[in-house]
Structures are given as structure tokens and as C-alpha cells.
Structure 1
Amino acid sequence: MALSKKSVMAALLLLLLITSQGKSSVQSIGVNYGKIADDLPPATEVIALYKTSGIGKMRIFDPNQATLQALKGSGISVIVGVVNNDLQGLATSPAAANGWVQTNISPYLPDVNISYIAAGNEIKPSDPLAQYVGPAMQNLYNAVTSSNLPTQIKVSTVIDMSLMGNTYPPSSGSFSDNASAYINAIASFLVSTKAPLLANVYPYFAYLSDPTTDIKLDYALLNSSGVVVQDGNLGYQNLFDAMMDSLYSALEKIGAANLTVIVTETGWPSDGGVAATVDNAGTYYKNLMSHVNNGTPKRPGPLETYLFALFDEDQKGPAETEKHFGLFSPTKQPKYQLSFS
């Protein structure tokens, strides 16, 4: 039977919707490329692995020249990290910040799709380096803008959930007193420059703190069949959403309600500790990848998220689990059946 013109148009619109949803899902997921190991393949093979696996986003922890060179023409979006020990120099010298950008960013444009510069990773408020995070971000921002680099390159920093004072229920989320001045300055800068906050969010470590009573394994693995935590009119079926919404609530309390958050690390180890198995890790990654495109109860919509990490890293520590977060073995064999496309 011949289809009417109206029916054909409806089918085409449905196909377009499905295709666009698939693209959005893929675009939401990236993978960290950590290199604390002595048995990893060269950067050119790593970039090829990203492309053949359909991974379109990467985070690197330092401006490694071989990696940036290999990224040229790949189309892969990349977050470039500033190592913590460089923060003081960048904070105290605008010339050093300009030099850093001219050495590590400018030569690779436009052939490399650089999305963010991450000034430091998981600096704690009590760390002597904490005083340099804000000034380093400002100097790097000034260097980027004065160099007329693409406007999509934003400068931010990476925090972890240790800055939180309260996370339960999610609506009561707040930063700790000792983190208040530190995070307020960061949030103010990010709001003024329209840049996102970068955050490392690990349900595994939250579960590890209390694996038998308050936090159930299925809740941590995004595997619960129903609502586990009811918080006002919002229901939570998994710990990842609850942690994210507690962070959003904390940001609201300091006047940064509209700040976008990008999850720069999340993962589950496959060996070396409590609940660290291939089955659990595979379940976490698979469930998370199908979930983050929906956002959280408080913030629906695609949530840009980077899995940790591409490879197992045999020189990480001190915990044994730190060696077993890879999606692939160093021989590039996949550990899990995951689809990025």
C-alpha cells in the first residue's frame, strides 16, 4: 500500500528525532586519557582507538605535546589540564600564563578541537596551592582572550566532592565551612566568564564509605528498580543523581544556580577492593552511559560526562583499585561491552 505524503513526512521526522537523540547521547560522553603507566600504546594508536570506538571527547591531565600533535584533524574535543604544580607560576605571572597558552594551546588550533583548559585538579581548600587557583584561572583567561582564541575555549578548574559539607538529602546539599571562601571565588569567576564548573563524581567511593547500611550496591550502580530516596517532589533511583543534585543545591546556596557542571571523572574499578569486579564496573559504566543524557531530577537534559579512564594504569596508587579503572587493557582490548555509538 502506498504511503501518503503526510505519512512519509512523519516517518522522516521520527527518523531525524531518533538520529539527533543518538548524536546527543554520544556527544555527552567522553573518556579520560590517563598515562600513569609504563605499558601504554603511543599517542597515535590511542587517538585511533578513540575514533574506532566512537569516543568523541577526551580529557588529558597535562598539555602533552605528543597527544596534542596526534589529535590534529581527529575532530575529538579535548579538555587540556594544567598540572597542579604549575598553578603558582601561572597565578603570579601574567607573562607565564601567556607563555603557557602560546606553547600549549595556540599552535594546535584550529586543527585540535580544544574545549576547556582545566587549571588544576582536585585542589583542596587547605592545600597551599589553593590560593593560586583563582589567579591562575584569571591569568589564563586573560591570555586566551588577548590571543583572540576561539570563544568556545573556557577556563575552569576541577573540584571533587570532598568540598561538600552536606549531601543528604540532595536538596540540603551545601559546601563545608572550610571550603566556602575557596568555592565562592571559583564560582564567581566561572559565572562572570560563562564557563562551567568541572567536577569529579564517584559513587564508588561514596559506597565504599558505607557499603552495608545507608548505601546499597544497586543504588550506587544505577541498578535500582524504583525510587530509593524521596526528596520533596523529586525521587532518586541512583546515587550519581543524588550526588550531582546535592552539588547543584550547594551551588544554588552560593548564588551560582545557573552554573553548568561537567563531570570530568566518574568510574568504577574492576579489581583491587570491595565491590571492585568486572561485572560491577561494567554495570556501572553501561547504566551511566545510557543515563547521563537524561540529566538529573533537578537538572534534566544532557550532562557532559567523562568516564575514568581509558586504560588500566599500573603505576597508580596507593590503593590497589586505582590501577583498575580502565575501559581497555594496555593492549587496547576492551574490558566491557560498551557502545559509544
Structure 2
Amino acid sequence: MAPPFAPAGSWSTLLSALLCILLCSDVCVRQCGAAIGINYGQVGNNLPTPTQVVSLLSSLRVGKVRIYDVNPQVLSAFSGTGIELIVTVPNDLVQPMAASTGQALQWVTANIKPYFPATRFTGVAVGNEVFTDDDEALKASLVPAMRNLHAALAQLGMDGYVHVSTASSLGVLATSYPPSQGAFTQECAQLMLPFLRFLAETNAPFWINAYPYFAYKADPTKVSLDYALSNPYHVGAVDPYTRLQYTSMLYAQVDAVSFAAARLGYGGIPVFVSETGWPSKGDADEVGATVENALAYNRNLLVRQTGNEGTPLRPRQRLEVYLFALFNENMKPGPTSERNYGLYQPDGRMVYNVGFAQQQRTSAASLSLAASSAPPATTTNVRNDFTRLCLFSSLAILLTSQAFLLG
């Protein structure tokens, strides 16, 4: 877990940012939908139909979506849209799929082949957070199930289009800070070697579910809120071993996974974020679960994504991120926060506006991207890239100008 770091705002920085707002082109948030993925969860009894959801996503120009099943209505709704889709094999099917190549082939034949290629599948997540599950048999079955599934896709000629991986929680790491000291837990390390070997053989990514919110909630007096929110205007953290500077806890967590994989001999595997988000509402003991923080977190990530930003370890490899989630889901168990990660209410109202604006058309309400004053940025090291500094500082002004004016 990262130590606290104080914001480093100054009037000179703010004036520079203001000049950027005045001088740079107005294109940033127009590209946000295409730049970022979204998790479309369905644990609710009041959600819109899949067809309505796809209409919303298309109007937002969202190009990548992850779902947690293979619901036929959803798969049909995505047909012909061009939206990239990651689907999920539920945990209870992992062991049967590991035990039988026929089971894997049957699953692909029933759930992928009928919709391909009209529905643009790009990934299958075999289980979710299996490596940190208590079921030892489930964990042992994961890689054999992935191999059987990949073989089934290859048999049907789809392996060149659809990656096979699994989404893991940050609980697979024993150490995550500083990022260069990232290491898997002793238990997970034994399971990681065959998993990483499979990813390397099939050119598949390592998917991680990463939530800086949990780190902040666990110790808000020591974890910097600015760092957890990926706010661009603070000093951040410098890894004492690599001297890489991190202004985003999320990006530090991703690099920690990359370093952990490198320790096992697989440093070249790309690490992508399959889930991340911030709740807009929580229980009394859920510190930081507010609309303001959720807005800041997701908007900061949208801007970084639009700038094609990579992590400090891999600045030229754009980090792929899937926000959690599209809707608030009223049937999710657990604390209040679990039901309040959505960008939208089920009736289509925004919980908060991260850069999407709603417009009325003749037949029905549709959504289009709002203009933003943030300029585009290139993928280079944040310490040396003045364009990115302008981009981030501009966003900081938009989010904090009122506080500075009143102060």
C-alpha cells in the first residue's frame, strides 16, 4: 500500500493549465467512449433491456464491453455493433471444462459460435478471481480449463480472434508497494507459473481487478486521496528503486503485477485492468464513497485513456481499462457501495457526468459525448511531457477551480 502524498498545486501551475485550456483543441472527451471499456453487470431486477443497453453504449461510442455470462439476449443485441465483447465462463463450470475437452468444445459451440463473427468476441474470462478463492480444486482446474477452451476455439477457427484469460483480484499479490517490489503470494506463485506460461504461449493479457478505493477506505489517514483518485496535480509517489514517478495508485498497482510476473520470468505479458471503479454511495463506515470522489476517479481515468497513456513502467503501451460499472445494480449483495458503482441509474439517468451529455432526439432519448476543454496528449513519460501536463492540469482546474477561487 502506498504512503500518503500531499497535493502539489500552485498558482503558476494553475495559470499554465489555464493557458492550455485556452490554446489547446477541444477534442478530449469526444474520444473517451472509444478509449475505455465498461463492465456491463446484470445483477438487478430493474435494468433496461439488452437492446436498450447496446443503444446507449453505441451512442456513447463505447468500443469495449465486458459481461459476466453468455446471456443469449445480450450476445444477440451486440451483433453487428462492432463493440468488442469479453464474456465469462462462470466459476461453477471451470472444473467440468478442465475435466473434458468435449465440455469445452460444447460450451464454445453453444455460446460463441452461433453469434460469431457478427458479435465481435475478443476475450473469454474463465472464472472470476479464482486464484483467491477458497476452493483448492477450483484453483487447480483453472489452467487446464483455459487450455481446453483455447483448443476448442482453435478447432473452430476462432483462436486468432478470441483471447482466453481470467480476471484476478489484487489479492494475488503479497507485495504491491513500491511497484518494483511487486510479488505474488507464495500460494499463488505456484499456480501462476503454468498460468503465465499459457498467457505467453497464446499472446493473451493478464487481467486484474484493481480498486484503489479499497486501499483508501482501509486506511484513509495514511493513504492519499489524491493518489487513490489518480488526481493529476499532486506529487504522487516515486519508486525508490526504479525512480519512476506514479501519480496514480491504479497505474502503480498494474506495474506491481508486471514486476511480479517478471520475477517468475514472464515480464513481457501485458497487464490490463478488467475492473476498476469507485462507489458513489456507501454505508457510514465506507469512507470516501461519495459522488464527488466517484466522479473524480472515473473522469481522471477517462482523460488518461484519451491521452493513450501507459504506466510509468510501460509508457508506450497504452493501458487497457474497463470501468466498473455501467449501471447501479440493486440486487448485488454486500454493503451499500456494492450497489452504487454505476455511471448510470437503471432508468438511464446519470449518477454523475464524467463527460457524457444527454440529448433529446425525435423518437427517444439518446446519449452523445460532451465537449471538453482538455487537449489530447501523447504516450510518453509524464515527467517530460508538457502536453500531458497541460491535459492533466486542465482537468484539475475543471474539478477544483471552485475550491481555489474560494480559498
Considering the TM-score relative to the shorter chain, is it more than 0.5?
Answer: yes
Deviations 1:195-225 (A, max 9, x none): 1111111111111221111x11111011152
Query: Is 1:241 matched with 2:251?
Result: yes
Instruction: Determine if contact 1:198/1:261 at 8 Å carries over to the other structure.
Output: yes
CA drift of 1:131 comes to 1.1
Match of 1:181 in 2: 190
Instruction: Determine if contact 1:25/1:302 at 8 Å carries over to the other structure.
Output: no
Question: What SS class does the counterpart of residue 155 from structure 1 fall into?
Answer: strand
Match of 1:156 in 2: 165
Deviations 1:91-127 (A, max 9, x none): 1011110000001111101110100011010013542
Instruction: Determine if contact 1:157/1:198 at 8 Å carries over to the other structure.
Output: yes
Q: TM-score, normalised by structure 1?
A: 0.90
For residue 99 of structure 1, what is the amino acid of its counterpart? Q
Match of 2:79 in 1: 72
Q: TM-score, normalised by structure 2?
A: 0.76
Question: What SS class does the counterpart of residue 294 from structure 1 fall into?
Answer: coil
> Is the alpha carbon distance of 1:21 and 1:187 closer, same or farther for their aligned partners in structure 2, counting shifts above 3 Å?
farther
Q: Which of 284, 289, 292 in structure 1 is aligned with 2:302?
A: 289
Query: Is 1:118 matched with 2:128?
Result: no
Partners of 2:47 and 2:234 in 1: how far apart? 41
Deviations 1:277-317 (A, max 9, x none): 11110000000111142111001131111000010011112
Query: Is 1:219 matched with 2:227?
Result: yes
Partners of 1:227 and 1:242 in 2: how far apart? 14
Partners of 2:192 and 2:169 in 1: how far apart? 11
Query: Is 1:60 matched with 2:70?
Result: no
Partners of 2:48 and 2:158 in 1: how far apart? 31
CA drift of 1:180 comes to 0.7
Query: Is 1:332 matched with 2:348?
Result: yes
Partners of 2:201 and 2:29 in 1: how far apart? 33
For residue 98 of structure 2, what is the amino acid of its counterpart? A
For residue 153 of structure 1, what is the amino acid of its counterpart? V
Question: What SS class does the counterpart of residue 124 from structure 1 fall into?
Answer: helix
Q: Which of 265, 270, 280 in structure 2 is aligned with 1:270?
A: 280
Match of 1:140 in 2: 149
For residue 229 of structure 1, what is the amino acid of its counterpart? A
User: 1:244-263 maps to which residues of 2 (within 5 A)?
Assistant: 244-263=254-273
Partners of 2:198 and 2:257 in 1: how far apart? 17
Deviations 1:202-259 (A, max 9, x none): 111111221111x111110111523321113211112112111111111111111110
Match of 1:97 in 2: 104
Instruction: Determine if contact 1:101/1:144 at 8 Å carries over to the other structure.
Output: yes
Instruction: Determine if contact 1:208/1:274 at 8 Å carries over to the other structure.
Output: yes
Deviations 1:143-201 (A, max 9, x none): 00011126121111111100000011111111111111112221111001111111111
Moved more, 264-273 or 232-241: 232-241
> Is the alpha carbon distance of 1:299 and 1:270 closer, same or farther for their aligned partners in structure 2, counting shifts above 3 Å?
same
Partners of 1:38 and 1:133 in 2: how far apart? 31
Q: Which of 94, 104, 108 in structure 2 is aligned with 1:87?
A: 94
Partners of 2:27 and 2:268 in 1: how far apart? 25
CA drift of 1:81 comes to 0.6
CA drift of 1:22 comes to 8.3
For residue 140 of structure 1, what is the amino acid of its counterpart? L
CA drift of 1:24 comes to 7.7
Question: What SS class does the counterpart of residue 264 from structure 1 fall into?
Answer: strand
> Is the alpha carbon distance of 1:20 and 1:186 closer, same or farther for their aligned partners in structure 2, counting shifts above 3 Å?
farther
CA drift of 1:337 comes to 1.7
Partners of 2:37 and 2:207 in 1: how far apart? 13
> Is the alpha carbon distance of 1:152 and 1:51 closer, same or farther for their aligned partners in structure 2, counting shifts above 3 Å?
same
Query: Is 1:196 matched with 2:205?
Result: yes
> Is the alpha carbon distance of 1:269 and 1:191 closer, same or farther for their aligned partners in structure 2, counting shifts above 3 Å?
same
> Is the alpha carbon distance of 1:194 and 1:24 closer, same or farther for their aligned partners in structure 2, counting shifts above 3 Å?
farther
- Identity across aligned pairs (percent)? 39
Match of 2:57 in 1: 50
Partners of 2:289 and 2:318 in 1: how far apart? 28
Moved more, 237-246 or 92-101: 237-246
Partners of 1:19 and 1:75 in 2: how far apart? 26
Partners of 2:350 and 2:54 in 1: how far apart? 15
Partners of 1:20 and 1:218 in 2: how far apart? 25
Partners of 1:339 and 1:133 in 2: how far apart? 39
For residue 91 of structure 1, what is the amino acid of its counterpart? A
The higher relative CO (CA closer than 8 Å, separation ≥ 6) is in 2
Structure 1 runs, 4 residues or longer, greater than 6 Å off: 18-24
Question: What SS class does the counterpart of residue 317 from structure 1 fall into?
Answer: coil
Partners of 1:329 and 1:101 in 2: how far apart? 33
Partners of 1:281 and 1:303 in 2: how far apart? 20
Structure 2: gaps of 5 or more residues:
1-24, 357-368, 370-407
Partners of 1:19 and 1:72 in 2: how far apart? 32
